[in-house]
Amino acid sequence: MKIALCSSFVPFVQGGYRNIVEWLETELKVAGHQVERIYLPQVDAPDLLFTQMMAYRWVDLTESADRVICFRPPAHFIPHPNKVLWFIHHVRVFYDLWDTPYRTFPDDAHHRAIRAALHESDTAALKEAKSIFTNSRVMSERLRTYNRLDSEVLYPPIAQPEQFHCQGFNDEIAYVCRVEHHKRQHLLLEAMRHTITPVRLRIAGKASNSTYANELRSVIVKYRLENRVAFEDRWISEEEKIKILSECLAAAYLPLDEDSYGYPSLEASHSGKPIISTHDSGGVLELVTDKYNGLLTEPDPKALAEAMDAMYLDRAKARDMGRNALTRIGELNISWEHVVSRLLA
């Protein structure tokens, strides 16, 4: 089968939204299919949204592809008689993030009109799909709430999960992820002020916003955490990431209302490590169960400090939760075999 994988991208910004496309491409080729990956740039600028949507509408793959699979908006506007969606999120500032500080424009008549038109256009384009899959229950619920559409949850695996392994348990809580305010690395830094054990913190990932990265550095200096916190503001290699996760005491992932469980959580699980997260982390809660394969707290530095200390003080429990993290992957049927079978059904 000739399959076109269609998605949007933000130039020079890496992330899981690219991985889901590129890793699927590899698996489909292994299964014997011909695959083309098609990206067009996209930015969340309100007055450019509809122009960008039309750019995708003019992409005609009807004669060249047997099936198109669309991911990140506005790729779902591509017309095709055999269109399947693996929908990973809306343009969130016009959906679930409208009434939050992450909306950077006013709640006025102009932007409300854009929002209404976007909802209507999205719904029409989504209805064209032969099947709609999402990356989490959170996303399925948003589609039902905002677009009145049903979908099937299809959890995204990682590439070559066999690379990840458990080498031991040192004194570090590892947060390996793109550095963004909504990923809330600052909460863990603030938590380090309140820990009572020698537990350490490692934050590794490139910041797309230098202002936020500088804020994190200021907190480290202000509270004299230099000897207990390592902050690597860069894209670390896969080999480095595998090593960090194989040796850490636990992993952390505490985004605000995430669309899915997030690759950092899944990579930690494949490494046999428990995960620290928060009750408001969205899709992460579909993977992490409190005291089973990790610890869930309120998004409060003192509560997070208690969780970090608990990992340090009870290594046996941390190991047990790490083993359960591996078991949880199977419980949710997170595998490429399942993904490929459903997308091509």
pLDDT on residue 328: 97
The owner of tokens 């230098």 is 210
Binned at pLDDT 50, 70 and 90, residue 14 comes out as confident
Helix pair angle (238-247, 263-270), 10° resolution: 60
Domain boundaries, the chain: 2-154, 161-331
The pLDDT of residue 102 is 86
Q: Residue 138: what pLDDT?
A: 92
Q: What is the dihedral of CA 275, 138, 107, 109, to 10 degrees?
A: 160
> What tens digit of pLDDT does each residue of 138-197 get?
999 999 999 999 999 999 999 999 999 999 999 999 999 999 999 999 999 999 999 999
* pLDDT tens for each residue of 310-338: 999 999 999 999 999 999 999 999 999 99
CA angle 243/247/253 to nearest 5° reads 85
Nearest residue to 219 via CA among 271, 267, 181: 181
Which pLDDT tens digit goes with each residue over 284-303?
A: 999 999 999 999 999 999 99
**Amino acid sitting at position 169:** F
Q: Given this model, what pLDDT does residue 15 score?
A: 74
Class of domain 2-154: alpha beta
* For residues 58-86, average pLDDT: 96
pLDDT of residue 13 exceeding 80: no
pLDDT for 211: 94
pLDDT at residue 331 in the model = 95
The Cα 204–Cα 189 span in angstroms is 13
- Looking at residue 178, its amino acid is R
Average pLDDT in the chain: 95
Q: What is the mean pLDDT of residues 209-222?
A: 94
> What length is written for the chain?
345
| HEC readout, 3-48 | EEEEEEECCCCCCHHHHHHHHHHHHHHHCCCEEEEEEEECCCCHHH
Residues 39-66 have a mean pLDDT of 93
**How do residues 189-201 score in pLDDT, each as one tens digit?**
999 999 999 999 9
Q: Would you say residue 257 has pLDDT above 80?
A: yes
What mean pLDDT comes out for the span 221-242? 94
Give 5's pLDDT tier (boundaries 50, 70, 90): very high
**Residues sharing a CB contact under 8 Å with residue 254, sequence separation 6 or more, in sequence order:** 183, 184, 187, 188, 276, 277, 278, 281, 284, 299, 304
Q: Percentage of the chain with pLDDT > 90? A: 91
Query: Shortest CA distance to 133 belongs to which of 23, 20, 267?
Result: 20
Put the strands of the sheet holding 275-278 in their side by side order.
Answer: 229-232, 200-204, 172-176, 250-252, 275-278, 294-297
Tell me: pLDDT of 231 over 90: yes
- What local confidence, expressed as pLDDT, does residue 71 receive? 97
Residue 44 has pLDDT above 90, yes or no: no
pLDDT per residue as tens digits for the range 182-191: 999 999 999 9
Distant-in-sequence, close-in-space partners of 215: CB < 8 Å, separation ≥ 6: 186
What strands, in cross-sheet order, belong to the sheet with 2-9?
34-41, 2-9, 67-70, 83-87, 131-134, 152-153
Class of domain 161-331: alpha beta
Position 255 pLDDT exceeds 90: yes
Tell me if 2-154 shares its fold with 161-331: yes
